[in-house]
Amino acid sequence: GGGGAGGGKQEVDAYPSLALALAEAAQAGQRVVLMADPRTLTLPWEALPSLRQKVGNPLPLVTRDLGVHMLLSRAAAAGGEMAPKADPAATTFIVDPVWEDEESTASENPRDGSRNAFEAFQKRAKAASQWKGVPGWASVPSEADWEGCLTTAKAAKAGARGAFVYYGPGRVGAHFLPSRLPTLDLSNAGAVVLLDRYFNDTCFRRQTQLDNMKKGHEIALEGPEELAALLSLAGAGAVALPQWAGSAFERLAALGGLAA
């Protein structure tokens, strides 16, 4: 039982059933899928002590899903595989749609902008050199470009699917119409990776101006949980996106992780 006033906080690790289930899953090489109800979906469950990686205590892969029916639907679309797969070479992308992330030359915090970072990533990752898409420094993607990149990631390998990757500042959902996602067929997309929600002054000002012209329900559809649901309903095999805002360095590190 939990302690009262002055009784100290109760750690989730105190529940032996949860700790035991995680240990058994890790030992068996299984993964854990979290399914939270809408009221608790936005909570950072992965930060719980029982779900954090510890030295000498390997944890299973922890993912989320919207419900049992959606999980089984993904598995059916992937030929019975519980973990949807995507061919890295069959990937489409959109990067920094209006080119707002320029390099920082500040001596205390220098970093590459989106163009240099993405081009360097493509040189490091062999498969990424074959990706096709729209970089914001070449042109601003239209609504048709967004829909085309999301729906045409076809894999050459039999039984595999392609992927879509977005990398850029601001909210990705502010660059296209999320309400149109359920009308698209994303069955070719085995994975949708959205590396957004880092901000600078330029994109923050533009985002604020756009938000002032939108209705509340339109902004709500740009939220991470809502986008994940809409993309999943459209047929995406897996959706990976940040739930909260982060730094440009964090998103750049996540982009680099795709080369692994």
Same domain flag for 217 and 134: yes
Tell whether 114 is covered by a domain: yes
Same domain flag for 57 and 96: no
Same domain flag for 106 and 211: yes
Amino acid at 255: L
Same domain flag for 222 and 128: yes
Same domain flag for 235 and 131: yes
220 φ/ψ angles, rounded to the nearest 5 degrees: -60, -35
Tell whether 70 is covered by a domain: no
Number of domains in the chain: 2
Same domain flag for 180 and 241: yes
In three state form, how does the secondary structure of 143-173 look?
HHHHHHHHHCCCCCCCCCEEEEEEECCCCHH
Residues in the chain: 260
Same domain flag for 59 and 184: no
pTM score above 0.95: no
Judging by beta carbons within 10 Å of its beta carbon (0-12, 13-18, 19+), is residue 138 exposed, middle or buried? exposed
Say what the pLDDT of residue 158 is.
Answer: 65
Tell whether 74 is covered by a domain: no
How confident is the model over 44-58, as pLDDT tens digits?
Answer: 887 777 776 665 555
How confident is the model over 132-176, as pLDDT tens digits?
Answer: 999 999 999 999 999 999 997 666 566 678 999 999 999 999 999
More confident residue, 225 or 85: 225
> In this structure, are residues 196 and 170 in contact, taking their beta carbons and an 8 Å threshold?
yes
Tell me the average pLDDT across 66-77: 89
How confident is the model over 4-18, as pLDDT tens digits?
Answer: 334 444 444 445 666
Tell whether 174 is covered by a domain: yes
Same domain flag for 181 and 117: yes
Same domain flag for 105 and 200: yes
> In this structure, are residues 175 and 146 in contact, taking their beta carbons and an 8 Å threshold?
yes
For 41, the enclosing helix (H) or strand (E) is none
Same domain flag for 132 and 197: yes
How confident is the model over 108-119, as pLDDT tens digits?
Answer: 777 889 999 999
Q: What's the domain range around 151?
A: 84-257
Distances (CA, A) of 5 to 1, 2, 8, 10, 250: 13, 10, 7, 12, 38
Tell whether 117 is covered by a domain: yes
Same domain flag for 54 and 144: no
Same domain flag for 112 and 208: yes
